[in-house]
Structure 1
């Protein structure tokens, strides 16, 4: 199935509603419009970052300072030159960035960049029409606020998955990863050990380090840890 912009909508909607926002789609040409405690937030969705998305975001700044663009989580990670250039541009334009992990069963939503207060003059009439449209479609009690989380990169998610595998089975070998169909990138994560979450018990066999045990208790990783714990508990019980 080819990727569609609508694939981004549901995970973001759930994320915003969990944060206490009243969310609607396709409001006055905005892909997503949300309100919390009188503050309007707008998100424009695209399958990839491009100039059309930038133009849309700039147009939405006449409605609110809280303008985000949303794209799928990048496959190459966030050290890629293209990614860094995109972040630099969005910062200059005072536009926020959200990514959705469409490459993961969890569909994790991350607020990568918060928008800054824009100097763009606001159109009060358009603001009022937008808010009225949202309120007239649906009324909900607004609570809480949006908070910055640790970014769940694909590499970090695979590392957490490995922690959950080791936690469930006690230890893991490269051979066992191969039998599980996870040798490739997963064995390289064990060997590079970027986060120091793993420790080599003997040749080709790894366990969790104290830092890895701490990672499984990190609040920002709760949903990811719960998902993979449940998955590998079922695997073990088979």
Structure 2
């Protein structure tokens, strides 16, 4: 694991532990190996998507069908052709995908793809050797389950931040957002209202919509919402 990849390791490790997995790094050349109830998951980490990462994941499929790659979340969202092509390739190869919000103080992890039941041949002896080493290490265990989640892009995170700001206010103005030190992007999010989470009261004044209140209760966003609610409490 390189120095750059260690930025990804801690958030992914924490995420898996919260899901109830026993986690270790650098087990038999795997960046991360995790086990729960007999299920073995392997995660390979890279600061960008590249063929070397794909080759590593394909090699790990000889150990388990539950192989994931983890990369930083996309800066330009999910509409870029390169992102769609990457997803198409990973789906075809039955490789899972995790994204890590390295550009956010939350460092959240999203499950974008989960591997389907793989037909890849598995080397039983190699798997047994890996599991023996994993089981012989001292690890901690919780409870939970690994589920696919909506990817929280940087844009969506800022929109959720706005929802948290607005949930206890009747409305907010651009001027008030600037006084909070928020960048111009937040004003743009209110104007474009992509997710229909806001309502325009008058020019430059917005309030939270019913859709926005529902978004605050969505399980996929609970960590982001909890973070910004706590952050808002400290500022008040």
Please tell me the TM-score bracket, short chain as reference: over 0.9
Task: List alignment gaps of at least 5 residues for structure 2.
Answer: none
| Structure-1 separation of matches of 2:131 and 2:229 | 41
| Structure-2 separation of matches of 1:101 and 1:170 | 30
CA-based RMSD of the aligned residues comes to 1.5
Q: Secondary structure of the equivalent of 1:11?
A: helix
Q: Which residue of 1 aligns with 2:51?
A: 51
| Structure-2 separation of matches of 1:223 and 1:119 | 35
The answer to whether the aligner puts 1:120 opposite 2:120 as a matched pair is yes
Quote the offset at 1:142 in angstroms.
Answer: 6.1
In the alignment, is the contact (CA less than 8 A) between 2:45 and 2:69 conserved in 1? yes
What is the aligned residue count? 234
In the alignment, is the contact (CA less than 8 A) between 1:36 and 1:142 conserved in 2? no
Q: List per-residue Cα deviations over 1:88-120 (Å, max 9, x = no partner).
A: 110111100000001111111000000122222
4+ residue stretches of structure 1 with deviation over 6 A? none
| Structure-1 separation of matches of 2:155 and 2:61 | 33
Q: Secondary structure of the equivalent of 1:112?
A: strand
Quote the offset at 1:169 in angstroms.
Answer: 4.0
The 1:92–1:166 alpha-carbon spacing in structure 2 relative to 1, beyond 3 Å, is: same
| Structure-2 separation of matches of 1:53 and 1:144 | 28
Quote the offset at 1:182 in angstroms.
Answer: 2.1
| Structure-1 separation of matches of 2:83 and 2:42 | 22
Quote the offset at 1:175 in angstroms.
Answer: 1.9
1:217-232 pair list within 5 angstroms: 217-232=217-232
Q: Which residue of 2 aligns with 1:78?
A: 78
1:197-236 pair list within 5 angstroms: 197-235=197-235
In the alignment, is the contact (CA less than 8 A) between 1:168 and 1:229 conserved in 2? no
In the alignment, is the contact (CA less than 8 A) between 1:168 and 1:232 conserved in 2? no
The 1:5–1:141 alpha-carbon spacing in structure 2 relative to 1, beyond 3 Å, is: closer
Structure 1, 107-116 or 3-12: larger mean CA deviation: 3-12
In the alignment, is the contact (CA less than 8 A) between 1:174 and 1:183 conserved in 2? no
